[in-house]
Amino acid sequence: MIIDGKQIQIKKKNEIVSLIKDISAELKLVVIQVGDNSASNIYIKNKKKLCEEVGINFELLKYDSTSTSELVSVINKLNSDSSVTGILVQLPLPESIDKDVVINTISPLKDVDGLTTHNIGALFSGKEGLYPCTAMGIVSIFDEIGYDLEGSNVVVVGRSKLVGLPASGLLLKKNATVTLCHSKTKNLKEVTSKADVLVVAVGKEKLITSNHVKNGAIVIDVGINRTEKGLCGDCDFDNILNKCKAITPVPGGVGPLTVVYLLNNIVKAYKLQNKE
Ligand code: NAD
């Protein structure tokens, strides 16, 4: 089975539209971008489009160049602006800016990317909070395909704060037995080939071949790599397809879920701010 992220996105988007209808206030997302990274431009365009489709106001604050202190002051103003529901700093930021300081200036209640230390702590301590959108999207796939993660042997490859680490936390919450691999893992193939569910978020084309995958496994390919032939994931899709039970394609798998879970987080942020 090829998992159709676009279909899941449409279903989730409809759910969000009805949640928004029940909210009397206007919701607003503010995205902060520094520089003109071409991939960031595409991601921001997609976020804006989806926000507009569901009736969430969208504002982009774009800077050619700026400093950590200027961003901190902008974010502090947005934190106290009651018309702003969610704040998102588009990554990557230029090297000259202290990313951790900037991200952690965002109020945890407006941190719709779920990247503040507060929200990462909330995720791993089982507390209510805003969790990273890609990780939320990954976990939603299992509900959609009717796969019970409890007791399942899940291997996550990649331990970034954005994807791998929060995905492992959310999968653990679903009572999966989770192994988290990274660049220093020895004998990756030995670990991944035992997985019932394999989640790969690295950013290396064809890192995962058919030999890395157990017969009948579910493979979630999060990677996005730009090649001469277009976008591809981290998995050798054509060779894995016949071996696995289900796999996400790139593009059209996890990507559409990431952006729809951003909308979900904006609605959740509103509810947390208003204690609903
Ligand atoms: P990152 O560079 O922050 O992290 C990569 C991780 O891969 C690290 O933890 C590193 O230890 C691990 N790694 C590197 N080489 C490895 C190897 N040979 N074996 C095992 N592990 C290895 O990247 P990220 O932000 O987590 O993103 C990962 C990929 O997912 C990228 O391709 C990114 O574009 C993509 N991504 C996709 C979405 C989506 O919506 N589909 C969202 C976010 C990121």
Distance from C-alpha of 25 to C-alpha of 270, rounded to nearest angstrom? 9
Q: Report the nearest atom of ligand 1 relative to the CA of 254.
A: 41
- Count helices and strands in the chain by DSSP H and E runs: 10, 10
pLDDT for 90 equals 98
Residue 238's pLDDT band, with cuts at 50, 70 and 90, is very high
Measuring from atom 13 of ligand 1, which residue has the nearest CA?
183
Rounded to 5, what percent of the chain is helix, strand, coil? 40, 15, 40
Percent of the chain with pLDDT over 90: 99
Active centre residues (catalytic): 47, 90, 113
Ligand 1 geometric centre to CA of 221 (Å): 10
Q: For position 221, what pLDDT does the model report?
A: 98
Place of tokens 């941190």: 111
Cα of 270 vs centre of ligand 1, distance in Å, is 30
Distance of alpha carbon 226 from the chain centroid: 18
pLDDT given at position 4: 98
Q: Whose CA is nearest to atom 4 of ligand 1?
A: 160
The pTM of this model reads 0.96
Q: Which atom of ligand 1 is nearest to the CA of 163?
A: 26
3-state secondary structure string, 110-131? CECCCCCHHHHHHHHCCCCCCC
Q: pLDDT for 177-203, tens place per residue?
A: 999 999 999 999 999 999 999 999 999
Residue with CA closest to ligand 1 atom 2? 202
Instruction: Give strand ranges (E) for the chain.
Output: 28-34, 57-63, 86-89, 153-157, 177-181, 197-200, 218-221, 225-227, 230-232, 246-247
Residue 249 to residues 145, 147, 232, 254, Cα–Cα distance (Å): 15, 18, 8, 8
Q: How far is CA 206 from CA 11, 64, 212, 244, 263, in A?
A: 30, 35, 11, 16, 31
Confidence category of residue 276, pLDDT binned at 50, 70, 90: confident
pLDDT digits (tens, 9 = 90+) for 64-100: 999 999 999 999 999 999 999 999 999 999 999 999 9
Report the pLDDT value the prediction gives residue 275, as an integer from 0 to 100: 87
Q: Whose CA is nearest to atom 14 of ligand 1?
A: 183
- Identify the residue whose C-alpha is closest to ligand 1 atom 6: 158
**Per-residue pLDDT tens digits for 240-264:** 999 999 999 999 999 999 999 999 9
Atom 17 of ligand 1: nearest residue by CA position: 183
To test ligand 1's pocket by mutation, which of 9, 50, 91, 160 has the most ligand atoms within 8 angstroms of CB? 160
pLDDT per position as a tens digit, 94-123: 999 999 999 999 999 999 999 999 999 999
Backbone angles phi and psi of 106, in degrees to 5:
-65, 135
Q: What is the pLDDT of residues 23-39, one digit of tens each?
A: 999 999 999 999 999 99
pLDDT of residue 159: 98
Residues contacting 47, CB < 8 A, separation 6+: 29, 31, 58, 88, 259, 262
Q: Which two tokens stand for residue 234?
A: 């981290």
Which among 184, 185, 222 is the best mutation to test ligand 1's pocket, defined by most ligand atoms within 8 Å of the CB?
A: 222
**In this model, does residue 147 exceed pLDDT 80?**
yes
- What average pLDDT does the segment 214-222 reach? 98
Q: Which atom of ligand 1 is nearest to the CA of 202?
A: 7
**pLDDT of 205 over the 90 cut:** yes
Instruction: Using the atom order of ligand 1, give the atom closest to the CA of residue 233.
Output: 32
Q: What is the mean pLDDT of residues 227-248?
A: 96
Token look-up 């106001």 returns: 57
Residues with CB under 6 A from ligand 1: 134, 157-160, 162-164, 181-183, 185, 188, 201-204, 207, 222-225, 254-255, 258
